[in-house]
Amino acid sequence: MKLLTLFLSFAKVGVMTFGGGYAMIPILEREIVERQGWASSEELMDYYAVGQCTPGVIAVNTATFIGYKVAGYPGGVVATLGVVFPSVVIISIIAGILTNFAELPAVKSAFTAIRVCVCVLIFNAVLKLWKGAVKDKAGLVLFLIVFVLSLFFDISPVVFVVLCAVSGLVLTKTGVRGK
């Protein structure tokens, strides 16, 4: 029963996620944290951050981590299949239809409007991440440093995450940030 619930929960996340990994954060929060209680908001953001740094799609990586936490290896596999299944079905249907209608003005207009909606979803996800991550002056300083560096330099997100993790450890060790 737990595996079926995992599959269905992540299938719901998969079918409701438009716009990629960042747009799925509010949906994950609602389904995984609030409805199922499989992770706290902080744990979810940790899984998400690690999922972003590991090879592959963020949604798949995050689903795998949470599924593994809930039900071990079978849970990781089932959650991964759940989050991917709707996309495979939807993409197959759209690919079959879209090739015939992609140049219609109404279809182009619909996709333009969908992109606007995705921007809003990503913006909301950034605000939610901000509230959960930047809790003190040290967090704000780290945010600003990473933000500025990411604007001016082509640095891998993995480097940022590793440097911030090390910074967090150093700040805790030196007493700047509470233990």
Three state DSSP letters for 136-148: CHHHHHHHHHHHH
Whole-number pLDDT of residue 20 = 65
Of the candidates 78, 89, 88, the one whose C-alpha atom is nearest the C-alpha of residue 38 is 78
pTM score, whole prediction: 0.61
Whole-number pLDDT of residue 18 = 67
* Ramachandran assignment for 104, one of left (phi > 0), alpha (psi -120 to 50 degrees), beta (any other): beta
Of the candidates 116, 143, 152, 133, the one whose C-alpha atom is nearest the C-alpha of residue 19 is 116
CB 62 within 8 A of CB 52: no
Which parts of the chain fold into alpha helices (H)?
2-16, 25-28, 41-53, 58-101, 105-133, 137-152, 157-173
CB 98 within 8 A of CB 107: yes
Whole-number pLDDT of residue 106 = 87
Of the candidates 42, 44, 84, the one whose C-alpha atom is nearest the C-alpha of residue 66 is 44
Whole-number pLDDT of residue 11 = 92
Full pLDDT tens readout for the chain, 179 residues: 899 999 999 998 888 776 666 777 888 888 989 999 999 888 888 888 888 777 778 888 889 999 999 999 999 999 999 999 988 888 888 887 777 787 888 888 988 898 898 888 888 888 888 887 888 888 899 999 999 999 999 998 889 989 998 998 998 888 877 65
Question: How far is the C-alpha of 56 from the C-alpha of 80, rounded, in Å?
Answer: 12
For the residues of 127-172, what is the DSSP string, one character each? HHHHHHH--SHHHHHHHHHHHHHHHHS---HHHHHHHHHHHHHHHH
